[in-house]
Amino acid sequence: MKSLRQNPGLIVLFLLFSASLALNVALGWRLKASAGPAAPSPGGVQKESVLPEMAVRDVNGGAVTVTFDASRPTILYVLSPACSWCDRNHANIAALSSSPKTAQYRFVGLSTTGKGLADYVKTKGLPFPVFHVDSEELITTLGLYATPQTVLVEKGGRVERVWVGAWDKKQQAEIESFFGVMVPGMQAP
């Protein structure tokens, strides 16, 4: 067997292997340290999850806390002023929230941004309070990034049902059946 001194190629190979191993370990530690919270599953808010109380802002920037320990279930409508699908779904959520058949629910709007929210609420005349989340971490953790979302939240914050997106024919039929309210359907762009 040849000694390492007699075979310089083995020394170089050993050094390259050692450097590669050290670099991979260092990159792994760095990746683990910067990973942050786990990514939410696709599709937005998840059924059966429990929503915590949320520190949000009203349309004027005032601090508000939204809780789900109210005396009645909450319909949480997640929107964004820049979302064209939210515009197309506006008449649906307005009709649902204005119906006497849904009086047992508390309706709360939650925007993923405060930019343009005051004008949006004023223009649209939403018949329920609308707040905005100013925490990217909360938006990501809870899956609030998908807009629009219609979320039925039971007392205590447990998510009972979730409808993601503007209400297509299938969702419209499901929502009308569930709440017993006729809605106008998705508006043209």
Q: If you ran DSSP here, which 8-state letter would residue 82 be given?
A: T
Encode pLDDT of 129-161 as tens digits.
999 998 999 888 888 888 999 999 998 899 999
Measured CA to CA, the distance from residue 15 to residue 79 in angstroms comes to 56
Query: What CATH number does domain 54-179 carry, 1.20.1740.10, 2.40.110.10, 3.40.30.10, 3.50.50.60?
Result: 3.40.30.10
pLDDT at 162: 95
Report yes or no: 133 and 139 within 8 Å, Cβ to Cβ. yes
The answer to whether the beta carbons of residues 144 and 110 sit under 8 Å apart is: yes
Q: What is the reported pLDDT for 107?
A: 97
Contacts of 153 (CB under 8 A, 6+ apart): 51, 68, 73, 74, 75, 76, 159, 160
Q: Is the pLDDT of residue 33 over 90?
A: no
Cβ 38 vs Cβ 46: under 8 Å: no
Q: In whole angstroms, give the CA distance from residue 80 to residue 132.
A: 9
pTM of the predicted protein model? 0.76
pLDDT at 44 over 50: yes
Identify the pLDDT of residue 18.
61
Each domain of the chain, given as residue ranges in start order, spans: 4-34, 54-179
* Region of residue 10 (left: phi > 0; alpha: psi -120 to 50; beta: else): alpha
Sheet of strand 159-164: strand arrangement:
63-66, 54-57, 130-132, 106-111, 74-79, 149-153, 159-164
pLDDT of residue 167 exceeding 80: yes
CA atoms of 185 and 167, how far apart (whole Å): 7
Report pLDDT digits (tens) over 55-79: 999 999 999 999 997 789 999 999 9
